[in-house]
Amino acid sequence: MGRTVMLSNGQMMVGLDEHGLVHDFYFPYVGEDNLTNARSLQHLIGIWVDGNFSWLKDPAWQKTIDFEADALISKMSAQRDDLGIRLEFSDFVDSQHTAFCRRIRVINLDDSKHEVRVFMHQVFQISHQGRADTILYVPQGSYLYDYKGRCSLLISAVDGAGQPFDQFSIGNFGIEGKEGTYRDAEDGQLDGNLVEHGSVDSVIRCSLQIEAKSDDYIDYWVVASYSQNDAESIHNQLVHQGLHSRLDQTRAYWRSWLATASGQIEKIGEHHRNMFTKSLMVIKAHVDKRGGIIASGDSSIYNYGRDYYSYVWPRDAALTLLPLISLGFSEEPKRFFEFCHDTIHPKGYMMHKYQPDRSIGSTWHPLIHQHHPELAIQEDETALVIFALAKYHEKFGDKEFLHKMYEPLVKPAANFMSTFFDDQTNLPHASYDLWEERFGTHTYTVVVTKAALEGAAFLAESLDHQDTASQWRKAAARISDALDQLYSDEIAAFRKSQYLKPDGEVDYNNTLDMSSMHAFLEFYPDRMSTENYKKMAETIQQKLLNSSPAGGVVRYEHDNYFLTNQQYLGNPWIICSFWMARYYIKTNQNDKAEELINWCLATATPSGMLAEQVDPQDRKQVGVSPLVWSHVEVVNTLLAFYGAVELV
């Protein structure tokens, strides 16, 4: 199960699950480190009403979860008619402070007074070993202080009258036979243990007396910082200003950010506009202030996989920037290009993936293939960074920034791409594909590399480096001249890839792949008028579109990644389905395009989160949710469909 909402301010990121409970809590980077321990125990909320206790995750609570259309502020309601209580949550990560805040309105639905106690349970894992964390109660500030090393978490809450929580409990979980301190809440009372260390969790309680048909508020927050003093400073500001003020400030921030694209947003049809703006905010939520853009903050995949998606893939990040550049956003692209400036390999290529702090991410690509040394890279990732930078310069004409990026980023990357060739084929040397699975010279990578070399030449010409520009344009032309060798009459399409073996023989991979078709549309549209492209488009529509009861488009034939039913070619992917919609838009088949757009959007959660893929039978979400790339394609496709702005 993915996240229903992702909240962020570029330094802190919080993901809420289907019950509105904290599942992911990242600090000090978006995507790093995740301070929760949700694989074994997650944060909880308990409600006690006149002697009756229940946890909010109990199915008896009727819940709705969404977020505001023009601000990254979640809206959740939870109601129990048998208890006569309704809870309304406004949750946000403060736009200025590293603080996760919840404003809880507690409503008495009955004609009689209710005593209500709200229990907020926290379980952080600051230490990667799951031990040696400490929580203690700080009476001078009325807060709990959870810390390890340089990471400090401050937890507090006040009621509608500004009075701090009236009880608390601190303890252990998962060791010494202890389930967790949350159990202490179930009788409505907390024992007030003052300090604990090891694997620790905590609970605080706020008590309310709510008259008939009336309401009251609880303001709750978790501050993250590098020291107790800094955390306490933020805490004091929240106490002084009140969460209602911080909520208004955060709402104003998001509206101001969206205002950059307001002219284009207004051109989107009303029935699609809400999803368009939500997708923009989901994208922004995954952008770190220091430049990293992660693929997804949903860590639930770690429950059944080996790793997270909270890495910076240069490909995903560069593709994320393209619609933002089209819409006029400049700061996010600049910070990412600075990230690449700092992380590009001295030989001119981007590595597989990075952590948000700029360190190298995990990989499954070996350095040897068929007994020969090879680079463990996906060349399209290097290419897309340069392609995006060229589009940025084309849009904003920021020559000062280009001067800063040219020598350390553009030049080594373009020199690498212009020489990373096989002389026998005149195509780029083999690397791993955009799906991160196969080693070869892939149609998608080849087309993207050609576009990137042309983009690099444009950047060189902008700085009057004509000789260098000519060199890079010749390399791009070399690809154009050799490209048709990737076409196969046998399958009536461009192959997925070919591989020039060390002995000089060429192996062909004739798999139909949606990325091969899309590469031309986005990066080499002049080729769409050729007979070879038209044949491929027809073939892929016949084979990859609606190949299962769920509909949609699969990535490629016989895709086994998270495949839920072996009788089908693969799971439908959201990005591939949007790609087909964009093909229909480009070829003036708007009815078919809108049908696929609506198909994709119908797979979203009620809060608008899109996953990576869906089940081929029932269309339920599969993989991480939200996937930023899926939301990027929402923006791209709706911009194209409504002609709101010309995509860069």
At 135 the pLDDT is: 97
Do the domain assignments include residue 75?
yes
Tokens of 598: 């609506």
Domain range for residue 463? 306-522
Q: Which residues contact 526 (CB under 8 A, 6 or more apart)?
A: none
Do 188 and 331 belong to one domain? no
Do the domain assignments include residue 619?
no
C-alpha closest to that of 104 among 165, 60, 145:
165
The secondary element (H helix, E strand) that includes residue 23 is strand 22-29
Tokens of 3: 């996240």
At 481 the pLDDT is: 98
Rounded Cα distance between 264 and 330, Å, is: 16
Tokens of 22: 């904290």
Q: Which residues contact 446 (CB under 8 A, 6 or more apart)?
A: 427, 428, 479, 483, 486, 519
Q: What is the CATH number of the domain that holds 375?
A: 1.50.10.10
> Residue 188: what are its φ and ψ, rounded to 5°?
85, -5
DSSP 422-446: ETTTTEEPPEE-TTS--EEEEHHHH
At 41 the pLDDT is: 81
Do the domain assignments include residue 529?
no
DSSP 268-317: S-HHHHHHHHHHHHHHHHTB-TTS-B-S----GGGGTSSS-S-SB-HHHH
Tokens of 380: 């399209």
Q: Which residues contact 361 (CB under 8 A, 6 or more apart)?
A: 311, 312, 351, 352, 353, 354, 355
Residue 492 DSSP SS3: coil
End position of a domain, from candidates 191, 225, 257: 257
Do 313 and 243 belong to one domain? no
Rounded Cα distance between 309 and 332, Å, is: 20
For residues 181 and 122, is the Cβ–Cβ distance under 8 A? no
End position of a domain, from candidates 233, 257, 281: 257
H helix intervals, 166-219: none
Residue that is written with structure tokens 């309601």 in the block: 77
DSSP 120-174: EEE-B--STTS-SEEEEEETTTTEEEEEETTEEEEEEEEETTSPBPSEEEEEE-S
**Where does residue 587 fall: left (phi above 0), alpha (psi -120 to 50 degrees), or beta otherwise?**
alpha
Do 453 and 328 belong to one domain? yes
Do 203 and 57 belong to one domain? yes
State how far the alpha carbon of 87 is from the alpha carbons of 23, 225, 331, 592, in Å: 20, 29, 38, 42
Helix then strand then coil, in percent of the chain rounded to 5, is 35, 25, 35
Residue 187 DSSP SS3: helix
C-alpha closest to that of 102 among 27, 43, 169, 173:
43
C-alpha 17 chain-centroid distance: 15
Tokens of 120: 């907020």
Do the domain assignments include residue 213?
yes
Do the domain assignments include residue 584?
no
C-alpha closest to that of 543 among 589, 491, 479:
491
Q: How many CA atoms lie within 13 A of 77 on its CB side?
A: 8
Do 12 and 86 belong to one domain? yes
Do the domain assignments include residue 617?
no
By CB atoms closer than 10 A (0-12, 13-18, 19+), residue 62 is exposed
Q: Which residues of the chain have pLDDT under 70?
A: 1, 37-39, 130, 302-305, 644-648
Give the total number of structural domains in the chain: 2
The partner residues of 573 in beta bridges, in order of sequence, read 553, 613
Do the domain assignments include residue 179?
yes
Q: What is the CATH number of the domain that holds 221?
A: 2.70.98.10
Q: How many CA atoms lie within 13 A of 292 on its CB side?
A: 28
Q: Which amino acid is at 76?
A: M
Rounded Cα distance between 332 and 518, Å, is: 25
Rounded Cα distance between 230 and 225, Å, is: 6
For residues 534 and 587, is the Cβ–Cβ distance under 8 A? no
At 301 the pLDDT is: 77
At 572 the pLDDT is: 98
By CB atoms closer than 10 A (0-12, 13-18, 19+), residue 346 is exposed
Do 315 and 241 belong to one domain? no
C-alpha 292 chain-centroid distance: 11
At 427 the pLDDT is: 99
Q: Which residues contact 476 (CB under 8 A, 6 or more apart)?
A: 450, 451, 453, 454, 457
Residue 99 DSSP SS3: strand
Write the pLDDT tens digit of every residue in 120-133.
999 999 987 767 89
Do the domain assignments include residue 102?
yes
Residue that is written with structure tokens 């480190």 in the block: 33
At 362 the pLDDT is: 96
Do 324 and 252 belong to one domain? no
Do 338 and 410 belong to one domain? yes
Do 328 and 200 belong to one domain? no
Tokens of 35: 């301070």
The partner residues of 234 in beta bridges, in order of sequence, read none
Please give the DSSP secondary-structure letter assigned to residue 19: T
End position of a domain, from candidates 522, 538, 568: 522
Do 217 and 158 belong to one domain? yes
Write the pLDDT tens digit of every residue in 106-121.
999 999 999 999 999 9
Q: Which residues contact 412 (CB under 8 A, 6 or more apart)?
A: 344, 346, 347, 348
For residues 202 and 168, is the Cβ–Cβ distance under 8 A? yes
Rounded Cα distance between 245 and 249, Å, is: 6
For residues 146 and 174, is the Cβ–Cβ distance under 8 A? no
